[in-house]
Amino acid sequence: MNPAVVLLSGGIDSSTCVAIAKQQGFAVYAMTFRYGQRHGVELRAAKKVADALGVGELKTVDIDLRTFGGSSLTSDTGVPRNRSLDRDEIPNTYVPARNTIFLSFALGWAEVLGCRDIFIGVNAIDYSGYPDCRPEFISAFEAVANLATKAAVTGSRMKIHAPLINLTKAQTIRLGAGLGLDYGLTHSCYDPDGEGRACGACDSCVIRRRAFTEAGITDPTVYV
């Protein structure tokens, strides 16, 4: 089995990516991050998903993006709630350069593992408008990966897989459910309460709730 590094946050998209990589025959090495985010619920969700799907190794990387802040997820700024998702502005839940940083760590680990495949669960359809979730970004990072690594310049080209990038969230949920993924293990909320219950009103919760309804599948999330 060829190895693949999969970025795993514990949410719907990244967890579905693990299931897809497993279904495609990859030996999955998952990477998650303790980056100074508001809560640790997503880290616990990532561990549950990794255990349930039989991931070979889950590596938790510690970095402190609170050092420069710039996001409500890495500061004490309030998370927007009940926001119209039809607005063009990028919300303050965007973490500056987060996917670039995460992919860079995944790329480094992939080189060490002798791995040519990296999976990331970005989505350009049902999302909050983050610029690092677009196909153009994925293509550009793959180009960087194949310019900047010893593995690539000696003949082992890197591939960045973004299998969900053109799917709606409902399509993603149907896909994952078909692969046997238990979405009750996943977590999406930006600002859960002290018991880990989802707020139900942040962008991520709104998108999640709507997606399960559209998918015709019961949302297993516990909301406040």
C-alpha torsion 175→180→186→188, nearest 10: 10
Cα–Cα distance for residue pair 200/189, rounded to 1 Å: 7
pLDDT tens profile 27-48? 999 999 999 999 999 999 999 9
Query: According to the model, what pLDDT value does residue 1 have?
Result: 86
pLDDT tens profile 145-186? 999 999 999 988 999 999 999 999 999 999 999 999 999 999
Cα–Cα distance for residue pair 169/125, rounded to 1 Å: 8
Average pLDDT rounded to a whole number, residues 183-210: 95
109 burial class (0-12, 13-18, 19+ CB within 10 angstroms)?
middle
pLDDT tens profile 102-112? 999 999 999 99
Cα–Cα distance for residue pair 198/209, rounded to 1 Å: 11
Domains along the sequence of the chain with CATH: 3-215 (3.40.50.620)
Query: According to the model, what pLDDT value does residue 126 have?
Result: 73
Residue % of the chain over a pLDDT of 70: 99
Specify the length of the chain in residues: 224
Cβ contact 63:33 at 8 Å: yes
**Per-residue pLDDT band at 87 (split at 50, 70, 90):** low
pLDDT tens profile 44-61? 999 999 999 999 999 999
The position carrying tokens 């999969």 is: 6
pTM for the predicted model, two decimal places: 0.95
Query: According to the model, what pLDDT value does residue 89 have?
Result: 81
